[in-house]
Structures are given as C-alpha cells and as structure tokens.
Amino acid sequence: MRNIPEKIFLLKFAGFILRISPMFSQLKKHSKFRPVIVIYTLCVYALQYTFTAIIVLIGICVSYLKLKSINRFGHLIWAKSMFFFMGKRVHIEGKDNYDRSKKYILVANHASIYDIPAIMSVVPGVSWIGREYLVRILGFGRLLKMNDYIPIEPGQPGRSRQSIKQAIAHAKDGITVAIFPEGTRTLDGQLGTFKKGFIHILRATHLDILPVTLNRFYSLKPKTRFTIVSKGKLEIIIHPPIDNKKLLPMTDNEIIDVVKKTILSSYQGR
C-alpha cells in the first residue's frame, strides 16, 4: 500500500516527460550547436524570470500608491527587456497607423510566448484577452493582472461570456483591448481559425479594429519547442485601422474574413 503514492508520482512524471519531449525534437537540425542553444536558452530564461520577478515586486508597491503611469512605464521596460536579454531587436512597420490618442480593438496572430511583450513594447497600456492559464504563471501572471488582463477559459461558455462582458466594459472605459482570435499559439506556423470573441466587442462599442501581423516569432520560440533560436528579424507590422462603421453591417464571417486577410497580407509564416 505504501508504494501506491510512489507509483502515482512515477506515472505523473512519465506523463510530464512525454508531454515535453517533443519540444526538443526540433533541435535535431541544430544538433551541431545544441549545447550552445540549450545554454543560451537557460541563461535567457534565468535573466527574464529574475527581471520579471523584480518588476512584479516593484509593480505591487507602485500599485498601492495608485501611480498608474509609473506602472505602465514598468510594463514597457519589462516588455523591451525580454528581447534585450535575447540580444534581439523588434522591428516595427506602420507605427504611424497607431494613434496613441485613440483606443482600438487590437487583433493579432499568435505564434509565441513573446507575442505579448512584443506588442506591449509598442502599445504598453492595453487590456489583454487570453488564456486563463497564463495568469497562473509565477510573476508573469501578476504582471498580466496589473495590466487589466482578461482571462478566458476554453470550454466554459459561462465564464467566457463574463470575460467578454468585462472586455466590453474596459473598451467603453477608454482602454485598448487586445486579443489573439486564434485562441492559442499556432503549432505549425500558419494562422489558425479565428474565433468570434472580438466581434462581440466590436458590435458593443465604437472602437475600430487595429490589425497587427507578427513575423518570425514562431521560429524564435514556438509552443512545441523548449529552446530559443535567435535568428531572423522579428517584425511587428501595424496595419491601418479598419473602421468600426464599415464592419458593423457585415456578418460575423465577413468581418473575420476581412481582418484575417489583412493580417495575412504581410504574414511571412515561419
């Protein structure tokens, strides 16, 4: 009987190994440099998580003082630091399409865990809609919550509807709401099916859609790989806003088609 807990632990550990083992398969084509890539990745993660913890602790103190401008500045520093620690620079095209005096529904493709800091490095004061598990990540979750993050749990319609209502309230309060309509990161570098969550916000507010294309973030750190491969130019392409009034007469599928085609127009896949 005493061995039962040990067997359960071994089964869970074996399941964990099976889940993460595919993350290392993509290193085969980089087998010559594998030790260097692994060491580089571990060093980057150590720096990123340590700095995130520091920013979160400072953010907590600042939040008690209700100094939101300082808090947002901290978000901007954090977002830029994620790429600084990698030795990478994010190139931005179409920056003039983003009017800082206006608020939008920002819609972007989702390829990597670094999509959020990439967009926050350009638009730091956004309210994100995304997966609930992210708020459970130590340090990173706290940072998201301080930035008005709105978690959605797939498969639970009641909680999802409540999250959409929360997003609409934020939008009406004059906050840019950002969403990955695919719902999760791509597994193959191609855009997935767009869900309709952003359309509910569009129809309930006067906000225009701001389409954003993220390029080469998949090759940097896809969902299925543990390591960071630092090659290629990371790009954020900000498209001209799509007028709310132009979209409202359309059906949901037509709106999705217009927004997805706009993002795909500059998308370079992997």
Distance, in Å, from the CA atom of 240 to the CA atom of 149, rounded to the nearest integer, reads: 25
Percent pLDDT > 70 in the chain is 76
pLDDT of residue 208: 95
Helix (H, G, I), strand (E, B) or coil at 30: helix
Q: Which of 107, 102, 109, 83 is nearest to 230 (CA)?
A: 83
The pLDDT tens digits for 56-74 are 888 777 766 766 677 778 8
Q: Where are the domains of the chain?
A: 14-264
> CB of 59 within 8 A of CB of 145?
no
pLDDT of residue 154: 60
Alpha carbon of 127 to those of 5, 38, 89, 178, 234: distances in Å?
Answer: 43, 34, 24, 6, 23
Higher pLDDT, 241 or 145: 241
Q: Which of 192, 73, 195, 81 is nearest to 130 (CA)?
A: 195
Distance, in Å, from the CA atom of 120 to the CA atom of 55, rounded to the nearest integer, reads: 15
pTM here? 0.80
Q: Which amino acid is at 1?
A: M
Q: In CATH, which of 3.40.1130, 3.40.50, 2.60.40, 3.10.590 is domain 14-264?
A: 3.40.1130
Distance, in Å, from the CA atom of 214 to the CA atom of 128, rounded to the nearest integer, reads: 16
Higher pLDDT, 161 or 81: 81
> CB of 137 within 8 A of CB of 114?
no
Given a cut of 90, whether residue 16 has pLDDT beyond it is no
The pLDDT tens digits for 79-104 are 999 999 999 999 999 999 999 889 99
pLDDT band at 160 (very low <50, low <70, confident <90, very high): low
Encoded tokens for 145:
């919550």
pLDDT band at 28 (very low <50, low <70, confident <90, very high): low
> CB of 188 within 8 A of CB of 120?
no
pLDDT of residue 127: 83
Given a cut of 70, whether residue 239 has pLDDT beyond it is yes
Radius of gyration for the chain, computed over Cα atoms and rounded to the nearest angstrom: 20
Give the pLDDT mean for 140-157: 68
